[in-house]
Amino acid sequence: MRIGIGLNLLAPDNGGVTNYALTLLRHWPTLAPEHPLVLFSFDHNEPLLATLPPEARRHEIRLRTQEEALDHFAAIDVYFCPFGTLWPRPVRKPSVLTFHDMQERFYPEFFTEKELAERFFHYDWSLRMADAVITISDFTRAMVTDLAGVARSHCHVVPHVADELPAPVRPANLPAGLGVERRFVFYPANFWRHKNHERLLEAFAHEALHGAPVELVCTGSCLGREEAWDGLVARLGLGGRVHHLGKIARSEISWLFRNARALVFPSLFEGFGIPLLEAMTCGCPIACGANTSQPDVAGRAALYFPADDPGAIARAVRRIDADDALRRRLIAAGLQRAPAFNVPRLVDGHLRAFTAARNRYNPARAWWNERVRLPRSLRPRDTLTPHERAAAAALLRQRSQVPADCETLSP
């Protein structure tokens, strides 16, 4: 089976999605050599593709547009899009996509009308036209079934795998003393609204952390909003307690995980949350939001808090910094849990989805996609339906309940 993989959206600022795709590409030739990947690549992919071993690029076709992939479909058996959308679509080949999230159904205020319209157009119809859907967590599968109406039998839950972290190197721009006589907690995330940086910073200004000898180190892209970040830090009086290192090397990320008191992950919305897995692998205890997919990933290896409450975040930071017994329990639980998220499971899950797509595909389904679904997809919309609002609210309520045997912040 030859699998064509569309790489147009492979880009550095795509966060965990890019790490997922690169991990799959890096290990596929070793674990599934009898099923070669044919890379449909683009000039802008080159810096990332250059990090792969040569065997991962053995079958590569450089394109100028995504539609040019259609000219090479005779060379593949399955068409795979790992970035949440199927494009071009529909296609007269078995097709698979990996779906990551529908954040806009839960937090439409984080998006412009244009962004909402694009997501409705691409996400809904990609999911309906694909022959199989890979979802990255149980929560993501629930989104696909409850909000897009895709049959549960068409979904394959295949959890992400953390890209291997190299030997640790202390970040060159880390202030002197941090990680030695001065303690810190760590948050790696781009400055997207759902990552909830503002409430995290408010937590560090909260009375619950007054006098606490712990600082905050953030990494990731500010996405051109450096002025907004600096203004927020200044307004809250956090200069000297909060340090943003920007985008740094993976070896430096490795050092931060291994020297932080904890990963503090206050995200409001996650389809998966690879930093949670990286923390468990590195023996770094976790405090994270009690929402969406975070309990799916961290299980009993985290202290959970309501991520919409700065006071609760502050109390969680103080507790995980001060309670060494708690930290030891979380570290042990994480080290026990992390091996379940492994590369052989990742590759096997994809192979099962590709096989299912080949079995499901037939000319009648292709005809229905072209003659019925495609015209319907061209009717624009930029607002949520009442059903979507109700289903999203129900899922958020359901996902705010973590298992009884997990550590949660006391009122």
| Amino acid letter, 376 | R
pLDDT value, residue 410 = 65
Q: Is the pLDDT at 289 greater than 80, yes or no?
A: yes
Q: Is the pLDDT at 14 greater than 80, yes or no?
A: no
HSE at residue 19, side-chain half, CA atoms within 13 A, is 17
Task: Report how far Cα 33 is from the mean position of its chain's Cα atoms.
Answer: 27
Which tokens in the block code for residue 410? 């006391």
Tokens 């007269």 sit at which residue? 92
Superfamily of domain 183-340+402-408: Glycogen Phosphorylase B; (3.40.50.2000)
**Closest CA relative to residue 201, chosen from 165, 168, 243:** 243
Q: Is the pLDDT at 287 greater than 80, yes or no?
A: yes
Residue 409 pLDDT grade (very low, low, confident, very high; cuts 50, 70, 90): confident
The single-letter DSSP state of residue 209 is: G
Which tokens in the block code for residue 3? 């699998």
The single-letter DSSP state of residue 218 is: E
The average pLDDT across 180-184 equals 91
Residue 12 pLDDT grade (very low, low, confident, very high; cuts 50, 70, 90): confident
pLDDT value, residue 183 = 95
Residue 17 pLDDT grade (very low, low, confident, very high; cuts 50, 70, 90): confident
pLDDT value, residue 164 = 82
Given this structure, which CATH class describes domain 3-161+343-380?
A: alpha beta
Residue 25 CA to residue 182 CA, distance in Å, equals 40
pLDDT value, residue 211 = 84
Which tokens in the block code for residue 270? 């996650």
The average pLDDT across 393-401 equals 93
Residue 299 pLDDT grade (very low, low, confident, very high; cuts 50, 70, 90): very high
Residue 138 CA to residue 156 CA, distance in Å, equals 10
Average pLDDT, the chain: 94
How confident is the model over 304-324, as pLDDT tens digits?
999 999 999 999 999 999 999
Assess whether the region 3-161+343-380 and the region 183-340+402-408 belong to the same CATH fold.
yes
Parse the chain into domains and list their residue ranges.
3-161+343-380, 183-340+402-408
How confident is the model over 328-361, as pLDDT tens digits?
999 999 999 999 999 999 999 999 999 999 999 9
Alpha-carbon dihedral angle through residues 85, 88, 93, 94, given to the nearest 10 degrees: 0
**Closest CA relative to residue 329, chosen from 287, 294, 301:** 301
How confident is the model over 59-110, as pLDDT tens digits?
999 999 999 999 999 999 999 999 999 999 999 999 999 999 999 999 999 9
Q: Residue 334 in contact with residue 307, Cβ under 8 Å?
A: no
Share of the chain above pLDDT 70, in %: 99
Residue 284 CA to residue 280 CA, distance in Å, equals 6
DSSP 130-174: -SEEEESSHHHHHHHHHHH---GGGEEE----PPPP-S----TTS
**Closest CA relative to residue 95, chosen from 143, 130, 46, 50:** 130
pLDDT value, residue 16 = 77
Q: Is the pLDDT at 411 greater than 60, yes or no?
A: no
Residue 218 pLDDT grade (very low, low, confident, very high; cuts 50, 70, 90): very high
Give the SS3 label for residue 252: helix
pLDDT value, residue 33 = 96
Q: Residue 142 in contact with residue 106, Cβ under 8 Å?
A: no
